[in-house]
Each structure stands twice: as C-alpha cells, then as structure tokens.
Amino acid sequence: MSAHHRIRIVAKPLACLAMAFFSLSSHADGTHKHWNYERGHEGPMHWAELDPSFETCGKGQLQSPIDIRQAVKATLPALQFTYNPVPPNLTNNGHTIQVNVPPGQTLTVGDQTYELLQFHFHTPSEEAVNGKRAAMVAHFVHKNAAGQLGVIGVLIQPGKTNAAYAPVFDHLPRKGEHITVDDLQLNLGALLPANKAYYQYAGSLTTPPCSEGVNWMVLKEPVRLGAEQIKTFRRIFNANARPIQPGHGRLIKESE
C-alpha cells in the first residue's frame, strides 16, 4: 500500500556523529557529548559524567523510567485527547525514531492543557509494570503553556499487525534520515488504546539531560503491533531503553 505514496527522504548528518569527529573541540556551540545505550563509557551508567549539563542523570531523585508497582488508587482526571490525522514526519535522531507533528494536537488533563510535540519509541519498554517490561513503548511528549512536559506512555505488546501504526512502521528512517510522507495521513487518535485508564507519577526525561518535572501518565492497556513491525524497529534500534531508576518512595497513582 505504500508504493503509491510520495515519500521524501533527506539524509542529514547527525549532530552527535559530527561531535564524535570533533571530540576535542569545546562545546561552546551548545551541543552535548555523545551518549548511547551501550555498556561502555557513553552508556546509561555514565551519562552524568559525559557533560556537566547531564548531572541530573546521576543526582536526580525523580528519575525515569521506573518500575510501576504499589500504585495507589486515586480519582485522577480523565485524559482528553484532541488528536487529528496528520502527515507523518519521521526522523531518526540516532537514539530513536521520532514522529514530529504539526501544532494543534492537544491533551487536556483536569485544568492542564498540553500540546503534542512529538512521539517516539523505545524497545524494550522503558517503564516496567510489576517488574515486567513490554516489547516496546511509545512516548507521546506534550508541553503546556508553562513549559512543563506531560508524557503519555503507550505500552506495546506483540499481536496482530497494527494498521494505525503502519504509516510509521512502513517508513522507518535509517540513521540520519528524515522522511516525510506527503499524501498519507496518520490517524493519531487510533494510536492509543481504547481504555485510557492510567498510572501517574512525577519523573524525568529518560535521555540526557534527564531533566525532572515531567508529568508521566502511562496507559494501563497496551496496544498490539505485529511481530514483523516490532522486528522492523529492532533492525534499526536493537535496544534503546534506559535502565529502571530508583523510585525513592515516590507516589504512583492509578486511575479508578
């Protein structure tokens, strides 16, 4: 079905790769040290040492991801998504595949309104529930008018091929590629599970600089993706999940 779509692929040099060649230069231009998900000195255990701006990755007390357990039932506001069909705009940033969306896609939670900026994927899922990680997770990253981030986590388990995700998984960009599919619509609302019950807790970005103050909302019901779709992602990113971080007694709420 993708044969007739107009696809524009732009290969961009990665800022991170460029840094690897100029590692002796100063970082006056604001770019950060390269980091990755491997065991070596650029891996998650060493992120905090790679750049002074990454210190929260080591010192933070509200880091993500966490193992979601002992959640407390609470009356949480319903999640109201106003997501519209958008043309997929995919980019491989060297750490994940990210889908950028045009303005106007909103999430309202109680008196907070957030705008969707982008969503991206990790494998396995970063969040665990009662010690178990899912095959993948999609993180829908939103920002409110005050600049605070609200991230919706959608756990992904293997099942039937998921047509709603096909516009993304049929066009996964390789490293350094940016893909725009002009005449194909991605139905954002269909990417979410039917049941919007969720866990809520305070956390952080799961990538450097690991900034805190992120409102995490992880949907309890997973979505299903075909085994082939999951495999297609893993051929590009075999594993891109940060290890589970200490909970430090943080409160995890669960909608009733």
Residues forming contacts to Zn ion in the complex (CB under 5 A) are: 139
Catalytic annotation present for 41? no
Residue type, 183: D
**What are the CA-CA distances from residue 32 to residues 46, 61, 229 (Å)?**
14, 22, 32
Residue closer to Zn ion by CB (options 137, 184) is: 137
Residue 152: CB minimum distance to Zn ion, A: 11
Residue 220 CA to chain centroid, in angstroms? 16
Residue 28: CB minimum distance to Zn ion, A: 28
Q: Which residue has the tokens 């106007």?
A: 104
Q: Looking at residue 182, what DSSP letter applies?
A: T
Residue closer to Zn ion by CB (options 184, 203) is: 203
Strands 97-100, 89-92: pairing is antiparallel
Dihedral sign from CA coordinates of 190, 86, 147, 208 = positive
What residue is closest to Zn ion based on CB?
A: 139
Residue 8: CB minimum distance to Zn ion, A: 25
* CA–CA distance, 95 with 43 (Å, rounded to integer): 12
Q: Which residue has the tokens 């139905």?
A: 187
Residue 23: CB minimum distance to Zn ion, A: 26
* CA–CA distance, 238 with 234 (Å, rounded to integer): 4
The token pair at 211 is 């900034």
* CA–CA distance, 238 with 175 (Å, rounded to integer): 13
Find residue 23's DSSP bridge partners: none
Residue 249 CA to chain centroid, in angstroms? 24
* CA–CA distance, 145 with 202 (Å, rounded to integer): 18
Residue closer to Zn ion by CB (options 139, 142) is: 139
Residue 214: CB minimum distance to Zn ion, A: 10
Residue closer to Zn ion by CB (options 210, 252) is: 210
Active-site annotation holder among 5, 32, 41, 95: 95
Residue 73: CB minimum distance to Zn ion, A: 26
Q: Active-site residues: which are they?
A: 95
